[in-house]
Structure 1
């Protein structure tokens, strides 16, 4: 069994280190020591998303994962370039405002844009919120209800964990889930289309 300690590492390093270790392990078991919170959630989602089994053990001051199984290649690794063109439609929202004009107008435009998505016949597969965009997915945002409805319609709504921590809003997340920069970058590279309002 191979061992890896990613405690104390900032996002997205725990996921990146686990990815490298799994590739090097070539099917051997991997035991990972990691912190609770975003590292635990992100590594678990990453491993399970690739077909690995994750056995979790709580330790004093953190967690240990035993990761086993063959794993499956990512869409980019497994499919020819033509198949990548059939990937997801991704929307990246990097601000709580739209455009470069007055702040109040920008916030109104972004609110109206997100609410308008419910009236469209074609929706994005995933919406990533980064930077001040995460403020749209927390308690008190005027579009939380809309984002939850988009989630009910199959849109994956995900906010950057580092950004939520920066604004001290992780506990206030009211729509969707938390993600990391590795997942955002990988999804965008495999996307059929990336949109930025």
Structure 2
């Protein structure tokens, strides 16, 4: 069984490294050494989403993840879903909407998110990046709205690098942490992408 060491790698490098290793040896089990927190979560989620079993154990300096099973690795740029049937993605890159005064922008973003609760078709996933991640953390005026959106089937994700940059990963209260690889892959496979 091959072992790769992804400790001390910046996002999204652990996921990219694991993806390449799995593609080089399809069907073979792989042991991955990762740091705790976002790298561990991101690699585990990546593997599970591709039909692999993940067994983890703490090791010195992080975690050991054993990935096993056949898995599903579609060709890069390809999707099994017919055109028009992929997920719809919303990318939120700021904690405010528009380019006007900050106070107005924050009010517009809050009102926009509240309005989503009453539209007929929600996005499948909302990704928060840059200052947008501040909307998913403690103290945000829209945390309850995001929780209601999740209860209605909308997945909510915040960029781990962005949360780290603003020193607020421990304050995340809505949705879960993700990485740039997952964001990019989801956008490229999406039926539609809406950027705020």
Shorter-chain TM band: over 0.9
In the other structure, the counterpart of 2:167 is 168
Higher deviation after alignment, 70-79 or 6-15: 70-79
The answer as to 2:104 corresponding to 1:109 is: no
Q: Compute the displacement of 1:78 (Å).
A: 5.2
Write the distance in 2 (CA, Å) between the matches of 1:78 and 1:123: 22
The answer as to 2:131 corresponding to 1:137 is: no
Question: Normalising by structure 1, what TM-score?
Answer: 0.96
In the other structure, the counterpart of 1:122 is 121
Question: Normalising by structure 2, what TM-score?
Answer: 0.96
The answer as to 2:20 corresponding to 1:20 is: yes
**C-alpha contact (below 8 Å) 2:79/2:189 kept by paired residues:** no
Structure 2 residue ranges without an equivalent (≥5):
none
Q: Compute the displacement of 1:26 (Å).
A: 1.7
Q: Compute the displacement of 1:73 (Å).
A: 2.9
**C-alpha contact (below 8 Å) 1:2/1:25 kept by paired residues:** no
Q: Deviations over 1:2-44 (max 9, x none)?
A: 1111110000000000000000012111111111111000000
Cα RMSD, aligned residues only: 1.3
Write the distance in 2 (CA, Å) between the matches of 1:26 and 1:84: 27
Matches within 5 A, 1:1-197: 1-74=1-74, 77=78, 79=80, 83-197=82-196
Q: Compute the displacement of 1:170 (Å).
A: 0.6
Q: Compute the displacement of 1:174 (Å).
A: 1.0
**C-alpha contact (below 8 Å) 1:84/1:191 kept by paired residues:** no
Structure 1 residue ranges without an equivalent (≥5):
none
Q: Compute the displacement of 1:74 (Å).
A: 4.1
Write the distance in 2 (CA, Å) between the matches of 1:74 and 1:114: 34
Q: Compute the displacement of 1:84 (Å).
A: 4.1
Aligned-partner SS, 1:31: strand
Q: Give the count of matched residue pairs.
A: 195
